[in-house]
Every structure is written in structure tokens, then in C-alpha cells.
Amino acid sequence: MLNFELYNPTRLLYGKGQIAEINKYIDKKSKVLIVYGGGSILKNGVHAQVIEALVGYDVVEFSGVEPNPKYETLVKAVEVIKREKVDFILGVGGGSVIDGVKFISAAVHYEGNSIDIVQKKLNVNWKAMPYGAILTLPATGSEMNCGAVVTIEATQEKLSFSGEVLYPVFSVCDPMVIASLPQKQIANGITDAFIHVLEQYVTYPQNAPVQDRFAEGILQTLIEVAPKVLKDPTDYDAAMNYMWCCTMALNGLISKGVHEDWVTHAIGHELTALYGIDHGRTLAIIGPNLYRVMLETKKEKLSQLGRRVFNLNGSDDEVAREAIDKMVEFFHSLGVQTKLSDYTDDGNRAVEWIVNRFEERGWVAMGEKKNITPAKVREIVKMSL
């Protein structure tokens, strides 16, 4: 296990009715910008709860943040903040809204062209505007981490950035919101969290048994609660455990002291930028095939996954291969398809397009062992068609 530093200052408010508590953590003199997406919070009662909790505050609203938030939209929110002299941002939505708020938070005081934050994948180490988050769609873990992903529509790029100043001051996670979610969004969230864990876990043995057991526990819990929450989103216990899995999958805990992969995400982001496929579904398309292509260097952890999570028996090679099949079987049980051809008839275009993008950016040695080359990426994408 590597040396590591653990830092996560986000205050979590978990459970029913916690939106009412947010005024304890926002200065009464603050002018608050509420940022949200397409307006579902106006229908499910969340917006009303937020407004009630902010009685006495000077409040401004900004709506229209897209799934896969667009830079072109977010810069308009930055203009609102400067014009209205806002002091605090409150993101109300899923990971896309919270990621968007992270960009807004970073861009307010950035002295250069704010597109650099995304295109140059900057480490945000300057003063950022404080913000809180109210999670309405469990999936990304953005409510308890300092990373974000933003899409630049003009260049068809979906890129990540991060910085310690971008942790939320607080995040509210009320499982009651899950009752109003479409089944497709719940399935996407489960898939997203599952692959988040695998990106940190399916590498190679690194003498990190605590992190491994945490990761395996999250995976087992997702498998256990998935059919329950999909069948009945009003099942509070199932919803709460699903939401907690998503948070734990990417709050930095299971990644401490180990090398990580994240190439599934890098390729998946390109599929979203190119075709508009839901983020979680791009991960289900790419992840299993990345593991097949990289089987020899990931075999030990894949076989460990197979034995500990899927209860498989056999040789390492047999169990590793069957673990990938079980992974695909799990995604299919959620209603998530795992071939690019399930989503587009134009899949062949992605192969060289993605390889060229990676080469242009200098992404030629990726993954936990820096052995995922453009040639490997080409093979992975071809296998995913």
C-alpha cells in the first residue's frame, strides 16, 4: 500500500427531512444562488423544501443545467453570480448539477479564460466560492468529492478537473427523492457506482485489504439492493443503502493508498460526447471489454472479485473470465445494455475518433500500470461495438 493523505471536509446530512437543516450551515447574511436542472425539483417537492429552508435569505435561481453539464451554460451562471453579488451557491440535483456547480465555484474567481479549467484539466487551487449540494439522483458521488466533469459543446469534449477547494461545504442526501425517479435513472446510477468501485478495485494486488473489503462490500450491497429499489423506489431502506453506496463509491476512501485505472471513464466520456449516450451506460459498454482486453494484468483482482463478490470457483483464469460475464449479467438485470450497437448504428466511427482524441492529448500510457496504449483503446472500443 502506498503512502496517502486522507482529507474530506464535506458535512453529510443523510436521511428524511434533512433539507430543513441547511440553514444551519449557510451564513444568514449570504445571498444564495440555487442552481438546478430541468425542473424536476419543482414537481417532486424538493424545490418547495429548499425555499422553505431558506426563508429570510436573499435568493436567486439559475435553472437549465443539462445532464453532462455544458460549459456554455455554466458560464452564464458565473455571470449571474457576478451581477447579483452572490455569496453562496446551492446545487440541487444529481451529479451533473453538482459537477456544474463545482465549475461555477471555481470559475467565479479564476483570472484567466474559464474554459482552461476544463480543457487543461486544471488543479483548482485558488479561492473558490463556497457551495452546498442537495442530491436528487444518486450515482456519481459528486456530493462528497472534489472532482467534476464538464462538457464543452463547441469542441465535443467531456473532461474532468478537480481541486481540494471544490468539496461541498455540506451535502444533503434524502432517500425520499428516489421515489420520483424514472427506473432508467436508478439503473444508470447503480451502474455508475458499480463501475466507480471497479475503477479503483480491478487493478492488481496492492496490499490494501481494508480498501478491498470496503470495495467488495459496496459491490455486494449494490447487487443486493438493486432489485429492491428498482421494484419499489419507495422502499426507504433499499433507497437509503443505494444512495449510501453511490456516495461511498467515490468519496476518496477506497482509492487511498492504491493505484487506480479510470480508462473506462475516459473512453465512456468520449461516447457521451460523440453520441449523447447516458454516462452510466457508456461505462457498461466499455468496462467489461476493457477487462477482457487487459485480462492478463488484471487477472488477480478479477478472480478475487469473482470469488468474493460473485461466489465463483475455479482457476484464476476461469474465475476472472466468469466474473466479467457476471458483471455483464448484472448490468442486463438492470435493463442496461452493454454493446454500442444497442445505442447507435454509427458505432464504427467511434474507434479511430477516440484513439485520435487520446493521442492528441498525449493520453498514450493510461491505467494503473500505464500499459493501456492507443492500440489497446482501439481493441477495447472495437470489442464494444
- The C-alpha cell at 330 is 448484472
Contacts for 340 with CB less than 8 Å, ≥ 6 apart: 271, 285, 347, 350, 381, 384, 385
Q: How many other CB atoms sit within 10 Å of the CB of residue 205?
A: 11
Q: Is 284 left (phi over 0), alpha (psi -120 to 50) or beta?
A: alpha
d(CA 155, CA 273): 9
Rg of the chain on CA atoms, in Å:
20
In order of 195, 289, 364, the CA distances from 358 in angstroms are 21, 18, 7
pLDDT for 240 equals 97
Whole-number pLDDT of residue 351: 97
Segment 54-76, tens digit of pLDDT: 999 999 999 999 999 999 999 99
How far is the C-alpha of 15 from the C-alpha of 21, rounded, in Å? Answer: 11
CB within 8 Å of 348: residues ≥ 6 apart = 385
The model's pTM: 0.96
Question: What is the per-residue DSSP string for 138-159?
Answer: -SS-GGGSSEEEEEEGGGTEEE
Task: Round to whole Å and give the CA distance between 89 and 129.
Answer: 7
* Vertex 376: Cα angle to 288 and 120 (nearest 5): 95
Cα–Cα dist 280/78, whole Å: 28
Residues of the chain under the 70 pLDDT cut = none
What is the 3 state secondary structure string of 235-274?
A: CHHHHHHHHHHHHHHCCCCCCCCCCCCCHHHHHHHHHHHH
Give 269-303 pLDDT, tens digit per residue: 999 999 999 999 999 999 999 999 999 999 999 99
CA distances from 129 to 32, 82, 94, 168, 183 (A): 11, 11, 20, 10, 34
Give me the pLDDT at residue 39, please: 86
Give the dihedral of Cα atoms 334, 335, 336, 341; nearest 10 deg: 160
Q: Domains in the chain, please, with CATH?
A: 11-176 (3.40.50.1970), 181-384 (1.20.1090.10)
pLDDT for the residue numbered 347 = 94
Give the pLDDT of residue 128: 97
Question: What does the pLDDT read at residue 370?
Answer: 98
